[in-house]
Structure 1
Amino acid sequence: MAGRPSRTRRVSSDSRSPTAYLIGDSIAGGYAAAVQAELAGEIAVEVRPENGEDSRHVLERLGAWLGERRYDAIHVNCGLHDLKRPHRSGEFQVPPAEYEANLRQIVARLNRHTARVIWGRTTPVIDGQPAAEKDFDRFNRDIAAYNQAADRVMAACGVAVNDLHQAVVEAGVANCVSADGVHMTEQGYAILSRRVAAAIRKAMTADRGGIA
């Protein structure tokens, strides 16, 4: 169903295959199974066992998710929860400056577990859709500031960037973003899963850094 993230699963890594790990929010949850299927028999893909939510939560939970394991690549995103504006305050859930600082710590932590961190840029939203049912707003205009903050961190740290935002824009936001204004349609998830699978494949051989 459009806009409903598919259930993620954690798989045991095949020691004969390269390994990758996916970290993200419900958007990642929606494309994870398709990425696993796309790379099956080629790269063993594991998925974080819970919604990554915002950058604070990712930073807090990385140790529990990764333990002492190492991976050939880790694809990570957070941002849509960070830029939420709760109605009670009107302020960002995680302000941009804190978000940027959190991402620096996240990358430093991930570098202990892989030589290939891949950052997925945050995808567009359609303004106003959650307002009737949620106690917060998201605004598409805020996404640029958060993506720019992430871009600065990834450039400074030499992390490859997977431009999921541009992939959705090029395919058409109306085609890719579901009626809830945040999650993807079937077409949107298909586009993102292909982009993520391709980025992981590329990371296995490409130099680090740059925007794909």
Structure 2
Amino acid sequence: MLQRATTVSLVLFFAFLVAATALAPRLQGADNTATPQLPRVVIVGDSIRLSYASTVMEQLAGKAIVVSPEANGGDSSNVLQHLDRWVIREKPAVVHFNCGIHDTKKFKATGRFQVPPEQYEANLRKIVERIRKETGAIVLFATTTPILDDPAAQTRRDREYELLDTNIRQYNAIAKKVMQQLEVPVNDLYSALSVPGSPLTVKDLIGGDGVHLQPEARVLLGKAVAAFVSRNLPSNQP
């Protein structure tokens, strides 16, 4: 009888150990939920954004989770069309976006822009409105980077459209007006490539095709974007 009682006691003891071991990770997980999670930051834009995204991620490591869609954002109509996939479903705390270069493609046969100025303005308003309404995120806008007219024309001489810096400046002015009205902070990446006192000029920082960035410019803009985002992270974040 004593031997049977001892056996039962041992079984109960080992059962308790197994249960306690199984419970331990759950308790640890429950404690970890009290640790604030890093805010999600979505950066949207065209190939310029794609070229500096890795630097943004490196600079914000430990401060934010940076999401950079693999796709080229293209023009403002395309960004608006893909807003659910690229932004809304990510539930971001901050969204830093740009669209402009593709909007300003001016077709030689018609003289029309890919996205006319009035449609560009309307698209920007809708993008900001939807992000705010559907995510509650802080919205940041980046101006479009400069175009070097001669090399841009030379490398695109066989294409049906042209890219001109004067049109970039026109669309940037539209964007700045909209963002001022909507109280959206503007990250002026157009001006960021013209740093006073820097030995590197805009011509040094933009590649031979007149549009895309040299490696030094990718790092420069990546750091500029990371710093701008960092200053605009939710106030309860480090």
Q: Report the TM-score, using the length of structure 2 for normalisation.
A: 0.76
1:91-116 Cα shifts (integer Å, max 9, x gaps): 11111111011100011011122431
- 1:193 matched to 2:222: yes
Shift of 1:40: 1.4
- The alpha-carbon deviation at position 87 of structure 1 amounts to 2.9
Residue 166 of structure 1 pairs with residue 191 of structure 2: yes
SS of the residue aligned with 2:96? strand
**Structure 1 portions without partners, runs of 5+:** 1-14, 207-212
Indicate which of 144, 147, 158 corresponds to 1:125.
Answer: 147
The CA deviation at 1:205 is 5.3
Query: SS of the counterpart of 2:219?
Result: helix
Alignment partner of 1:34 is 2:72: no
Q: Alpha carbon RMSD of aligned pairs, Å?
A: 1.6
The correspondence for 1:84, drawn from 100, 105, 109, is 105
User: Could you report, residue by residue, the CA deviation over 1:128-152 in whole angstroms, capped at 9, with x for unpaired residues?
Assistant: 2432353321011111110111011
CA–CA separation in structure 2 for the residues paired with 1:124 and 1:23 = 18
**Which whole-Å CA distance do the structure 2 matches of 1:55 and 1:70 have between them?**
20
- Which aligned pairs between 1:1-212 and structure 2 lie closer than 5 A? 16-111=37-132, 112-127=134-149, 128-170=153-195, 172-204=201-233
- Counterpart residue type for residue 47 of structure 1: S
Match of 1:9 in 2: none
Deviation at 1:17, TM superposition (A): 1.1
Give me the identity figure in percent. Answer: 36
8 A Cα contact 2:93 2:234, kept in partner: no
**How many corresponding residue pairs?**
192
- Deviating 4+ runs (over 6 angstroms): none
For 1:91, give the aligned amino acid.
R
CA distance in 1, matches of 2:125, 2:88: 19
Residue 104 of structure 1 aligns with an amino acid whose one-letter code is R
Larger Rg: 2
Question: When you count helix as a share of all residues, which structure comes out higher?
Answer: 2
